[in-house]
């Protein structure tokens, strides 16, 4: 897989969740911190996002998307002064719909403006968080606009329609659309960030040379890569490649290669029952002993202990 797809796959711990809700002012929900990430989309009307730590409120209009990559606590309200109810997370850690003070299908005669929301949550492990995600700000706001992020908004429309009228196959379609939406969210932000200030991972993903080297690593992490080989894949000299890779990715090429190998190994140990020698091979080690030593140095425990979840 490509780097972005690999990063999400490495962090995913469960199925995503989403809900489509209709509100009539006043309304508000306070979401607690969670291990995963989440999003809110205003399909109709408007809303306000109140981030943590008294950060500036973010006004959301129809078509706006907001992504909370780190799962920090926040509130979503029709107006900053509206009363807010605490949102209790589901047993699997996902976000339920925003509390509705008027559970009846018909609005009260004195009800305020209507807002239609699409909200969702992703279960992601932070223990081996990929720097692609840790680099994201607390709040990613993607405003609607003529021609802005067409793929993202197409995914939003498909998801909203599926939730509004479930059909045969919806149980499989909705999680697939949520995974697609997450990738479009991240792509939209990086494209926007790359255009504004091409540094860090946004810059790395927009640099053809560094992208070629990253794709080589992710396509075959077990290969005994050298800096020279990766530089050749990038079309750069060894020294020039090493400088550019370190500046954008934040660590030298072989350090990132080792980190990704160990991340891949950890995922294999937790999700599959493959023999240790097979896991070692996928991580680029011909010796189980050498792999176990490297793994313990990275995780602080032996591979078998990590697999049993007793560390």
User: Which single residue is written with the structure tokens 């550019």?
Assistant: 244
298, HSE (Cβ side, Cα atoms, 13 Å)? 23
| Rounded distance between C-alpha atoms, residue 197 and residue 164, angstroms | 39
* Interval 99-142: pLDDT, tens: 555 555 555 566 678 999 999 999 888 777 888 888 888 999 99
- Which residues in the chain are classed under CATH 1.10.10.60? 207-308
CATH architecture of 3-196: Sandwich (2.60)
Give the model's pLDDT for residue 96: 60
Q: Are 27 and 82 in contact (CB under 8 A)?
A: yes
Give the model's pLDDT for residue 205: 84
CATH architecture of 207-308: Orthogonal Bundle (1.10)
Q: SS3 for 56?
A: coil
- Which residues in the chain are classed under CATH 2.60.120.280? 3-196
Give the model's pLDDT for residue 174: 92
Helices (H) and strands (E) in the chain, counts: 12, 10
Give the model's pLDDT for residue 271: 83
**87-to-29, 46, 74, 126, 194 alpha-carbon distances in Å:** 6, 20, 10, 22, 35
DSSP H helices, the chain, are 3-11, 131-134, 150-164, 170-196, 200-205, 208-219, 227-234, 238-249, 253-271, 276-282, 288-299, 303-308
Give the model's pLDDT for residue 76: 95
Which residue positions in the chain have pLDDT lower than 70?
A: 1, 90-111, 146, 194-199, 310-311
Q: What angle do CA 92, 93, 96 make, to 5 degrees?
A: 100
Give the model's pLDDT for residue 290: 93
CA torsion through residues 174, 175, 180, 185, sign: positive
This prediction's pTM: 0.84
118: nearest Cα among 58, 48, 63, 80: 63
């Amino acid at each position: 897989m490509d780097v972005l797809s690999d990063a999400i796959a490495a962090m995913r711990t469960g199925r995503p969740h989403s809900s489509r809700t209709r509100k009539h002012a006043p309304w508000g929900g306070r979401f607690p911190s969670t291990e995963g990430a989440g999003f809110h989309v205003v399909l109709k009307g408007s809303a306000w996002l109140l981030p943590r730590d008294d950060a500036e409120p973010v006004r959301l209009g129809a078509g706006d998307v907001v992504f909370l990559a780190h799962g920090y606590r926040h509130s979503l309200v029709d107006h900053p002064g509206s009363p807010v109810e605490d949102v209790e997370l589901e047993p699997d850690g996902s976000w339920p719909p925003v509390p509705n003070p008027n559970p009846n299908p018909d609005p009260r005669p004195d009800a305020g403006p209507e807002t239609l929301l699409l909200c969702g949550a992703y279960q992601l492990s932070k223990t081996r968080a990929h720097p692609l995600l840790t680099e994201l700000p607390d709040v990613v706001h993607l405003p609607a606009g003529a021609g802005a992020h067409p793929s993202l908004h197409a995914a939003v429309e498909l998801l909203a329609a599926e939730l509004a009228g479930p059909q045969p196959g919806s149980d499989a379609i909705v999680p697939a659309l949520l995974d697609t939406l997450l990738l479009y969210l991240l792509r939209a932000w990086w494209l926007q960030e790359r255009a504004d200030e091409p540094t860090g991972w946004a810059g790395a993903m927009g640099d053809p040379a560094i992208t070629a080297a990253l794709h080589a690593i992710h396509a075959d992490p077990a290969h005994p890569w050298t800096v020279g080989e990766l530089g050749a894949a990038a079309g750069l000299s060894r020294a020039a490649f090493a400088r550019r890779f370190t500046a954008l990715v934040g660590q030298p090429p072989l350090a990132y290669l080792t980190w990704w190998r160990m991340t891949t190994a950890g995922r294999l140990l937790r999700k599959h029952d493959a023999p240790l020698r097979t896991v070692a091979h996928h991580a680029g080690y011909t010796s189980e002993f050498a792999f176990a030593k490297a793994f313990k140095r990275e995780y602080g425990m032996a591979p078998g202990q990590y697999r049993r979840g007793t560390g």
